[in-house]
């Protein structure tokens, strides 16, 4: 099993991140293994979150939001490619909940949906890997 964390609590992670102004994900992305998992799933290098966070400071975190929305859209594409059932998070879902739902737990909803999609994609990839190992 390649992916061990397939049941991350997205709403809780979003809640913690929101109330730490994004600092939580500065630590969680590299040390929680999320950065490496995203690169493995998407098949290419991903800009480290800390760079997106730093570039977000002068842009009132719009850059960071667009970075996260792009990751959500790429993850949605991977989920569709693998035949994982929705609902997925998308660029507009991530962006909309974070901007228009800011005062009503929107960032937590967006993060929950992102991690729901990520968890299902990781489970599907684990299943594909285990099918391949039993056939060999």
Give phi and psi for 42, each to the nearest 5: -80, -20
Secondary structure letter of residue 71 according to DSSP: H
pLDDT single digits (tens) 121-131: 999 999 988 88
Predicted structure pTM score: 0.88
> Quick check: 49 and 61 in contact, CB under 8 A?
no
Rg (CA), the chain: 15
Q: What is the pLDDT of residues 74-87, one digit of tens each?
A: 999 999 999 998 88
Reply yes or no on whether the pLDDT at 88 is more than 60. Answer: yes
Please name the residue that has the structure tokens 């109330």: 19
pLDDT reported for residue 133: 65
């Amino acid at each position: 099993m390649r992916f061990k964390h397939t049941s991350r609590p997205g709403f809780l992670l979003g809640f913690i991140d929101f109330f730490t102004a994004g600092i939580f994900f500065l630590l969680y992305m590299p040390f929680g293994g999320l950065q490496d998992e995203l690169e493995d799933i998407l098949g290419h290098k991903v800009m480290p979150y800390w760079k997106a966070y730093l570039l977000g400071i002068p842009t009132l975190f719009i850059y960071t939001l667009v970075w996260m929305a792009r990751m959500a859209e790429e993850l949605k594409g991977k989920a569709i490619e693998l035949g994982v059932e929705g609902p997925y998070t998308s660029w507009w879902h991530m962006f909309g909940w974070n901007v228009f739902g800011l005062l009503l737990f929107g960032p937590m909803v967006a993060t929950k949906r992102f991690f729901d999609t990520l968890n299902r994609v990781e489970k599907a990839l684990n299943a594909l890997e285990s099918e391949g190992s039993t056939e060999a």
